[in-house]
């Protein structure tokens, strides 16, 4: 019984390690180069707040990026607001790496 419990626990850990975590790269470009910004986040609430503060739009991020949608762009009067969905992996040294979603992963997103 103990062996079965240990095997189940290891299987759950292995499955959760392979699950993809998604993050977002946000680039805000305005006419004034001093106001241009680039930042990364994994929190959808932070992303929604940033979209509302910079564009005035109340958007649901999960609905925008459902299926195989990988980016969102809003342009108006010299303001360009660009958001791209990426896969986040953590290196052994603890550094987070935001990498592009491959075509195979994109097809899996579309079918889910």
pLDDT band at 82 (very low <50, low <70, confident <90, very high): very high
- Copy the structure tokens of residue 52: 């509302």
Does residue 102 carry a pLDDT above 70?
A: yes
pLDDT band at 15 (very low <50, low <70, confident <90, very high): very low
Regarding pTM above 0.85, the answer is no
Task: Please say whether the beta carbons of 45 and 35 come within 8 A.
Answer: no
Residue among 50, 58, 90, 86 nearest 71 (CA): 86
Does residue 98 carry a pLDDT above 60?
A: yes
As a whole number, mean pLDDT of residues 48-69 equals 85
């Amino acid at each position: 019984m103990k062996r079965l419990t240990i095997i189940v626990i290891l299987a759950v850990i292995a499955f959760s390690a392979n699950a993809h975590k998604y993050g977002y790269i946000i680039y805000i470009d305005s006419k004034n180069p001093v106001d241009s910004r680039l930042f990364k986040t994994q929190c959808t609430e932070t992303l929604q707040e940033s979209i509302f503060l910079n564009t005035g739009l109340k958007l649901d991020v999960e609905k925008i990026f459902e299926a195989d949608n990988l980016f969102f762009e809003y342009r108006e009067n010299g303001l360009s607001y660009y958001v791209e969905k990426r896969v986040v992996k953590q290196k052994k040294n603890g550094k987070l790496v935001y990498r592009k979603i491959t075509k195979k992963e994109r097809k899996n997103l579309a079918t889910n």
